[in-house]
A and B are shown apart, each in its own frame.
Chain A
Amino acid sequence: MVLALALHLDPVFVGAHHVARFLVVTFTVAIAARRIVKDRAAGRSSQPQ
Chain B
Amino acid sequence: MPPSSSPLRTLAETTETLIIALAGGAAFTLLGFPAGLVSGSVLAVAAAALLRRPVRVPVALARVCYIVVGILLGAVVTPQTLKGFASWPASVGLLVVASLCMIVATTTYLRVVHNWDPLSALMGASPGSMAQVIALSSELGADLRAVAVVQTSRVLLLATGIPGGLALFGYAAPALPVARGTDPSSLTELAIVVAVSTATAFALWRLRFPGGLLFGAMAGSSVLHGTGLVQAVLPWWIGSASVVVLGAVIGSRFANTGFRPLLGYLGAALGSFAVSLFVATAFALVVAHFFAFPIANVAVAFAPAPRTP
Contact = CB atoms under 8 A, between A and B. Distances in A.
**Main SS class of interface, B:** helix
A interface residue count range (under 10 / 10 to 19 / 20 to 34 / 35 or more): 20 to 34
Contacts of A26: 128-129, 132, 215, 218
B1 to A, nearest CB: 35
A29 B128 contact: yes
Contacts, number: 137
Contact of B95 (A10, A20, A33): A20
A9 B103 contact: no
Say which size band chain B's interface belongs to. Answer: 35 or more
Nearest to B167: A7
Contacts of B83: 16
Given A2-B35, A9-B294, A17-B302, A25 B119 contact: no
B123 interface: yes
B172 A16 contact: no
Interface in A7-49: 7-10, 12-22, 24-26, 28-30, 32-34, 36-37, 40
Most buried by B among A17, A28, A37: A17
Interface in B65-111: 73, 76-78, 80-85, 87-88, 91-92, 95-96, 99-100, 103
